[in-house]
């Protein structure tokens, strides 16, 4: 078991490395330039030690001349200028690479996420996905643009410094080398712990983000139920859990830095004691000791810096794993290798052929069982039934958000599984019961139905949806900002904008989820007239919650527990279906009673 876990960790590390190399590959010239600058600056820094030796031995010795001192100082300053130039190039290129790779990774993850089937999001929190795309990529940006450069530079300084130490004084170098294994072991041990804790910390922070997103999005409901205090306590709990995990990680990093400092500087102290006695005994010069001290401090500082950024590198590895999980998520709704195409012109014939379906999370409970329905082109079908009957599931299957378990759904005689989902959905428009608007202007939201639509076409669609009048009254008309989720508009206004969007799309198949339920009586009448005109010549599937809205549709399908129990026109179902007759009696009798009561009171 231990070997298997070790193998899985090794595979994960290779996967992270392979993925990052893939994102770096397009910018190999920038990477090469940064690498050259990195090597040059490391070499120049190492050369400063020899400049320091010459300065001490030739410039500060008892028999030194002023000319020798000036020459040593000029050489030293030239090295400083070269180091500054190389550092500028290195810092710019490495920072550019960090920003570029982070941006590319964000785009790649988002591009993949928006293509995933809706079932994926049933098990994923939206806040967690947002955290991965924003927070985790920002962490990677910092690490690639800073920590990696620091680690590589100090690794070169460590290797070069050790070489110069051996050249300068092998005996003193032996003292320094005794501390190296003692330093490497804590770095590896604590580093693994930091990586594991970093992954956990990122997960906890994502939970905090998810909670904030839900609270802010539903702020009216939160305040309406006086949930401020309870939600504050719940949020405090999420934050404290994230804090506790972060503190454990910080302690591990603090211990790592402390152990490294004690071991490394302890070895340097021992080296100074031995070297000082050698200078007093005349076995080495003061310049040689100064150069040796310079390289020893450089080696010690390099090890310390590596130990510092090693924790950052481990955090980045944890963040990268979280991002790669999203990139590796499998999309279960894919176009076929050789897709079929809808006949031209597209008519809009819909045929449910013995369709059965169960959600992956509830495979033992079929949501749809052996449903067969035909909807001729240009006709209308209403789906009625109690909650959980399968109405919304049929709509999702028709949009191919999920694939049927058994049977088939055909669009103009073509099994939709053989179509590219983009081609299928290009011929469908949907108006949901709860309208969805995006942050932006009214124009942006209507144009969502057809991105290449002109302003005149947008205005025409708004007029057809009886939305033009209220849009014109907004402060900036069609360019008015609707707020997040359309919060600046009323429910009825949002619904009419959504209807205008569907009208603009000009689909062959129209899906309506009780699209007039959020409107007042006058607006409902106007929009119902617009929808009736829109439905002319188009296949329409309506999810009906109120039977009064579907009396005039061509066919009504009655669903119960995922099964089709009856179908026909309203007048036929009143006779043939006791279930439908009971719903009609409940709704129409209740409406009549309310009207009579209101009349008597007046």
In a domain, 312, yes or no: yes
> What residues are paired with 355 via a beta bridge?
371
pLDDT tens-digit readout, 514-537 = 766 556 666 667 667 767 777 777
Is pLDDT at 6 greater than 50 in this prediction?
A: no
Is pLDDT at 93 greater than 60 in this prediction?
A: yes
Indicate which CATH number applies to the domain containing 226. Answer: 1.20.1560.10
Q: Which domain holds residue 19?
A: 11-328
Say whether both 543 and 415 belong to one domain: yes
CA–CA gap between residue 88 and residue 567 (Å, rounded): 76
* pTM of structure: 0.69
Report CA Rg, the chain.
35
In a domain, 132, yes or no: yes
In a domain, 585, yes or no: no
Q: What tokens were used for 506? A: 């000009």
Q: In the prediction, which pLDDT does 243 show?
A: 83
Is pLDDT at 564 greater than 80 in this prediction?
A: yes
pLDDT tens-digit readout, 370-388 = 999 999 998 989 999 888 8
What 3-state class would DSSP assign to 558?
Answer: strand
Output b/e per residue, 451-476; b: 16+ Cβ within 10 A.
eebeeebbbbbbebbbbbebbeebee
Say whether both 292 and 421 belong to one domain: no
In a domain, 597, yes or no: no
CA–CA gap between residue 591 and residue 521 (Å, rounded): 14
| Res. 328 pLDDT band, cuts 50 70 90 | confident
Say whether both 324 and 354 belong to one domain: no
Q: In the prediction, which pLDDT does 221 show?
A: 61
pLDDT tens-digit readout, 468-490 = 888 999 899 999 988 877 888 88
Say whether both 77 and 122 belong to one domain: yes
Q: In the prediction, which pLDDT does 591 show?
A: 46
In a domain, 53, yes or no: yes
Furthest-apart CA atoms within the chain: distance in Å: 122
In a domain, 507, yes or no: yes
* Secondary structure element (H or E) that encloses residue 221, with its range: helix 219-224
CA–CA gap between residue 267 and residue 405 (Å, rounded): 69
Mean pLDDT of 358-378: 88
Q: In the prediction, which pLDDT does 240 show?
A: 83
Say whether both 355 and 409 belong to one domain: yes
Range among 47-51, 138-142, 182-186, 333-337 with highest mean pLDDT value:
333-337
Q: How many folded domains does the chain comprise?
A: 2
Say whether both 33 and 107 belong to one domain: yes
How far, CA to CA in Å, does 225 sit from each of 43, 124, 214, 230, 392?
Answer: 67, 27, 15, 10, 29
Mean pLDDT of 248-255: 78
In a domain, 526, yes or no: yes
| Res. 11 pLDDT band, cuts 50 70 90 | very low
Task: Output helix, strand, coil percentages for the chain, rounded to the nearest 5.
Answer: 70, 10, 20
217 in Cβ contact with 487 (< 8 Å): no
> Nearest to residue 276, comparing CAs of 292, 264, 261, 265?
292
**Residue 556: φ, ψ to 5°:** -120, 130
CA–CA gap between residue 455 and residue 466 (Å, rounded): 16
Pairing between β-strand 539-544 and β-strand 428-431 as defined by DSSP bridges: unpaired
Say whether both 361 and 319 belong to one domain: no
In a domain, 583, yes or no: no
Q: In the prediction, which pLDDT does 8 show?
A: 45
Question: Which comes out higher in pLDDT, residue 407 or 221?
Answer: 407
Mean pLDDT of 59-86: 73
Indicate which CATH number applies to the domain containing 432. Answer: 3.40.50.300
Say whether both 322 and 243 belong to one domain: yes
Q: In the prediction, which pLDDT does 203 show?
A: 67
Q: In the prediction, which pLDDT does 588 show?
A: 67
> Nearest to residue 554, comparing CAs of 310, 361, 374?
374
Say whether both 363 and 282 belong to one domain: no
pLDDT tens-digit readout, 424-457 = 988 988 888 777 888 889 999 999 888 898 999 9
Say whether both 261 and 368 belong to one domain: no
Say whether both 323 and 355 belong to one domain: no
pLDDT tens-digit readout, 26-58 = 888 988 998 898 888 888 887 777 766 766 666
Is pLDDT at 140 greater than 60 in this prediction?
A: yes
329-333, 365-369, 381-385, 508-512: least confidently modelled range? 329-333
Say whether both 321 and 360 belong to one domain: no
> Nearest to residue 172, comparing CAs of 297, 55, 47?
297
Q: In the prediction, which pLDDT does 598 show?
A: 42
Work out the angle between the directed axes of helices 521-535 and 491-505 (0-180°, nearest 10): 10
Question: Which comes out higher in pLDDT, residue 197 or 577?
Answer: 577
Mean pLDDT of the chain: 78
Q: Give the CA count within 13 Å in the CB-facing half-sphere of 388.
A: 3
């Amino acid at each position: 078991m231990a070997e298997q876990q070790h193998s899985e960790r090794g595979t994960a590390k290779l996967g992270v490395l392979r993925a990052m190399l893939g994102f770096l590959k397009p910018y190999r010239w920038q990477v090469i330039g940064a690498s050259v600058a990195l090597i040059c600056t490391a070499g120049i820094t190492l050369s400063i030690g020899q400049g320091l030796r010459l300065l001490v031995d030739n410039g500060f010795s008892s028999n030194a001349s002023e000319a020798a001192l000036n020459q040593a100082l000029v050489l030293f300053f030239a090295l400083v200028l070269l180091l500054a130039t190389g550092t500028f190039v290195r810092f710019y290129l490495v920072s550019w690479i960090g920003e570029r790779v982070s941006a590319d990774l964000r785009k790649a993850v988002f591009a993949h996420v928006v293509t995933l089937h809706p079932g994926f999001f049933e098990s994923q929190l939206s806040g967690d996905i947002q955290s991965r795309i924003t927070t985790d990529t920002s962490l990677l940006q910092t690490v690639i643009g800073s920590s990696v450069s620091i680690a590589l530079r100090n690794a070169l300084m460590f290797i070069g410094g050790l070489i110069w130490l051996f050249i300068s004084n092998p005996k003193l170098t032996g003292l320094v080398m005794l501390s190296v294994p003692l330093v490497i072991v804590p770095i590896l041990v604590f580093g693994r712990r930091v990586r594991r804790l970093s992954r956990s910390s990122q997960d906890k922070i994502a939970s905090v983000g998810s909670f904030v997103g839900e609270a802010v999005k539903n702020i009216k409901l939160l305040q309406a139920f006086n949930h401020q205090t309870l939600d504050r306590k719940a949020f405090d709990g999420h934050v404290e859990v994230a804090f506790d995990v972060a503190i454990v990680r910080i302690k591990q990093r603090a211990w790592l830095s402390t152990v490294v400092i004690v071991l490394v500087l302890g070895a340097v102290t021992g080296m100074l004691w031995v070297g000082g006695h050698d200078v007093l005994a005349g076995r080495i010069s003061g310049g040689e000791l100064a150069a040796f001290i310079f390289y020893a401090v450089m080696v010690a500082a390099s090890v310390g810096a590596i130990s510092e950024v090693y924790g950052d590198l481990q955090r980045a590895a944890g963040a990268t794993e979280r991002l790669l999980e999203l990139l590796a998520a499998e999309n279960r709704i894919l176009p076929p290798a050789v897709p079929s195409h809808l006949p031209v012109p597209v008519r809009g014939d819909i045929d449910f052929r013995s369709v059965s379906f169960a959600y992956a999370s509830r495979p033992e409970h079929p949501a749809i069982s052996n449903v067969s329905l035909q909807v001729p082109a240009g006709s209308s079908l209403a789906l009625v039934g109690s909650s959980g009957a399968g109405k919304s599931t049929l709509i999702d299957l028709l949009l191919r958000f999920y694939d049927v378990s058994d049977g088939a759904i055909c669009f103009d005689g073509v099994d939709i599984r053989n179509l590219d989902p983009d081609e299928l959905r290009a011929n469908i428009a949907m108006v949901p019961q709860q309208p969805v608007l995006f942050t932006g202007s009214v124009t942006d939201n209507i144009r969502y139905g057809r991105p290449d639509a002109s302003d005149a076409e947008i205005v025409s669609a708004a007029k057809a949806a009886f939305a033009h009048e209220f849009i014109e009254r907004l402060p900036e008309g069609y360019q008015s900002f609707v707020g997040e989720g359309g919060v600046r508009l009323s429910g009825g206004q949002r619904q009419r904008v959504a209807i205008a969007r569907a009208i603009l799309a000009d689909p062959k198949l129209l899906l309506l989820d009780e699209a007039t339920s959020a409107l007042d009586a006058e607006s409902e009448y106007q929009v119902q007239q617009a929808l009736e005109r829109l439905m002319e010549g188009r296949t329409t599937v309506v999810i009906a919650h109120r039977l009064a809205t579907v009396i005039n549709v061509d066919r009504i399908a009655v669903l119960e527990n995922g099964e089709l129990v009856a179908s026909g026109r309203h007048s036929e179902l009143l006779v043939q279906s006791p279930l439908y007759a009971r719903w009609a009696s409940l709704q129409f009798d209740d409406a009549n009673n309310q009207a009579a009561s209101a009349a008597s009171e007046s």
